[in-house]
Chain A
Amino acid sequence: MLRFIVSKFLYMLLSLFLLITATFMLMNAVPGSPLQSEKATSEAVQKNLEAYYGLDKPLIVQYGKYMNNLLHGDMGISMKKKFQSVDKMIADSFGPSLRLGISAVITAVVVGCILGIIAAMYHRKLLDNLAMIIAVIGLAIPSIVLGPLLQYTLAFKLRWFEVSGLEGPLDYVLPTIALASGPIAFIARLLRSTMIEVLNADFIKTAKSKGLSGYVIIVRHALRNSMLPVITYLGPLTAGIITGSVVIEKIFAIPGIGKYFVQSVIDRDYPLIMGITIFYAVILMVSRFLADVAYVLVDPRMRASGGKGAK
């Protein structure tokens, strides 16, 4: 077990290192530079800027310097937002993204599970189809449509919510729905298929034969044994929602990290691109790592095959 965790962890570090290197090189290969502006400046001004940010040095020297700083926990200073340190920008903007992400994950799990349970209990009946249709409709309306529509109808027309911001608890409702609608469908289907399988397993039949009520069977036995795939999916789901909320953050004007992400690439703000990439990658990797470990903890048989994936 320990060996498994250690080796997973080492591979994670290796992945991270390769990713950082690749991003650094790719980023510098992209046309444009953080120092360009529409209005031509004098050559002297350009030179001063390049010298200031060390961009006049060969790429390999810049890379070495960046890696060295990174090892000392310094992600540098944004080239566009003058003198804001990248670590602080990420730390400040991660709060709203995380809170919104958690709110969306909880919603997705609760609603997804309810739909999944209904579908499994009434497998191949009307309610099954109905639950699945609801789930898939949520999935089928893209967040780029759902977000603005919710905003326009519920906030702008009906004034039930604020159109933007993330201050009061009510402000979470609309962006949460927009973010959770896709994952709800995923969880509902995941739970449905596992649960149908579990409901057909011998121990459920035993429970039924003992005369336990349907409700007790579902909650006590079937659900508990069907949740494993959902639980292991939680990590990647959280990571996915947090790193995928760019559009929703834009629409609802939420000061989250997604706002910086696209803009940093457009601005060619090298330190910020690197910082956010590393941060996102770490979230993704750690969530998968935890999912793997959780999986092995729960099901030792998985150790043999390396504890891969949820399927």
Chain B
Amino acid sequence: MKGNFKKPVHFMLVLVIAFSMLLAACSGNNNGGNNAQDPANNGANNGAAEENKTPQEFRFTLASEPPSLDPALMTDAQSSIVAAGLYEGLTRLNTKGEPENALAQEIITEDNQNYTIKLRQDAKWSNGDPVTAKDFEFAWKRALNPETASEYAYMLFYLENGEKYNAGEASADDVGVKATDDYTLEVKLYTPAPYFTSLLSHYTYLPVHQATVEGAADWAAEANTIVSNGPFRLTEWKHADKLVLEKNPDYYNADAINFTKVTISLVEDENTVYQMYETDKIDWIGAQAGSVPSDLIPQLVEQKKAEITAVASTYYYLFNNNKVPFNNVNVRKAFSMSIDRQALIDNVAKANQTPAFGLVPPSIAGPEGKMFREVYPDTGFSTENVEEAKALLAKGLQELGLSEFPEVTLLYNTSEGHKAIAEAAVDMWRTNLGVEVKLANQEWGTFLETRKAGQFDIARSGWGADINHPINFTYDLIYSKSGNNDGKYNNPAVDKLLDDSLVSSSAEESMAKMAEAEKIALSDDMAVLPMYYYTTVTMIKPGFEGVISDYAGHIDWVHGSKK
């Protein structure tokens, strides 16, 4: 190393080069950041100038970035939460989860299959163009167009020939939607659907601005290219960082909107989210923001700082109905009966969930304005009884001709919460039934594929509602040919009831048949092991009103206000 002493020049040179490069790279990026903010700041000034009321800001976080703000391409809760402020559809769900007219002035139908929808005439796009029935026709056909490759196109399969058009077997003209004039939309469904007005509030049914969409495929990827029609406008979208929405002064019902600015930060770590709330950087915590740390929930609820609301989702374990030993109904029953759901909820899940014995959650609407579970309770479906479970297990093993319980594995997707529940369940089976169940976790993508392929004994599952109707939890989960029936439960009697329910003459009869099918599958057959119905724990800063969680647990902030 002595040689180095003679070459101070080289040494300094390297040093200078290294640092100047670092600095150049650094300052270059600073500039980039500033430029990106400029248009947003302009937008903010405009918004403030037009607003006379005192500014009201609402801040919350989302755990992940909305993958898309293009209604045809949205697939997830994050997108729908932003879209609720950004766009206005024909109907909007109220706080009870019932559809109310939004852009639709009047929805006329006699048979629940043919609809005439009259639109209000004072709605405008953010570029000043009027919102017309043609925008809806265009949006729906675009989502169905195979070239759009919309994942949620199937939400529009209710339209006559919708599925055929999407599969390339019919043309756009065959699809059952037509704008007969600027403010009248004629819709024809392939089958009567009494809940169509609920469907109309779903994001796949939102309108898009034709010229904008045709102008650029990536129109919805940046704040300054989105053309929207909702109560808010997107003024800033710093990817991976935050979205800023500001009140749309041209919104037809602007008086009903109180927030002037809504900031949505993207924060993944739930401990960080909680600290942000407590240090007053955000105003709300709830499901899509990453949950409140579970150890804190009882304490926070007691202090009335957090609130628990029911959510239309069910947590359950799938049995592989095609594989020994869970092809035997008595073994399945034994496993379900030996779980102490309330203990699991109190000590592990901790958010005051409701023990589940069926699949349809309590917050799903039922017949005659009542809740589905009020009319068809799941309490009689099965019981928790360790002694009976032991007897059933012995009986089941005998029927299978097994002398001892085979090695089985419980598969769950990687997550702290699922892990804790799985550990507790396995321990209950060990203590109560004397059987060893192994645990395996897989990361989400692999997990889905393994589960779809039926390569499991028991697999964790959770199911949420797309629409507020029990069909989401019956036809989707226990119908033998459903793509979501990953446990491959198959009972022709259940299939027949579900088939019949779709062509029932009344909504009441349809629901009764679904209830009957659910009872057979869960009470007699124990197709799956229901664990609990989800709840969501939310925290909101004092002074805010009207920010609620809808039936599915999604934040509905559009009509919120601050004192």
Contact = CB atoms under 8 A, between A and B. Distances in A.
Query: In the complex they form, do A and B come into direct contact, defined as C-beta atoms under 8 angstroms apart?
Result: yes
Interface of A: 30-33, 35-45, 47-49, 51-53, 77, 80-85, 89, 91-95, 98-99, 102, 105, 148, 151-152, 155-156, 159, 162-165, 194, 197-198, 201-203, 221, 224-225, 227-228, 231, 234-235, 238, 250-253, 255-256, 259-260, 263, 266-268, 290, 294, 297-299, 301
Contacts of A260: 240
Interface in B1-45: 1-5, 7-8, 10-11, 13-15, 18, 22, 25-26, 29-30, 32-33, 36
B167 to A, nearest CB: 4
19 contacts: A30-B446, A39-B466, A40-B484, A44-B167, A45-B154, A48-B150, A82-B68, A83-B221, A84-B218, A92-B32, A95-B30, A102-B22, A164-B276, A165-B265, A224-B8, A231-B14, A238-B22, A255-B238, A299-B3
B70 A164 contact: no
Contacts of A42: 153-154, 157, 163, 166-167
Nearest to B64: A263
- Interface residue tally of chain B, by bracket? 35 or more
B166 A294 contact: no
Contacts of B29: 94-95, 98-99
Given A194-B1, A255-B266, A31 B154 contact: no
Interface stretch (B100-108, B267-275, B371-379): B267-275
Contact of A31 (B5, B267, B446, B476): B446
Contacts of B265: 165, 253
A266 B268 CA distance: 14
A252 B276 CA distance: 10
B75 A225 contact: no
Nearest to B32: A95
B146 A40 contact: no
Chain B facing A: main interface SS: helix
B430 interface: no
Chain A contact residues, majority secondary structure? helix
Contact of A38 (B70, B146, B448): B448
Nearest to A226: B1
B546 interface: no
A196 to B, nearest CB: 12
B68 A81 contact: yes
B238 A40 contact: no
Contact of A253 (B269, B466, B483): B269
A151 B22 contact: no
B56 to A, nearest CB: 22
B33 A163 contact: no
Contacts of B444: 266
B272 A202 contact: no
Nearest to A259: B240
Interface string B438-452: 000001111011101
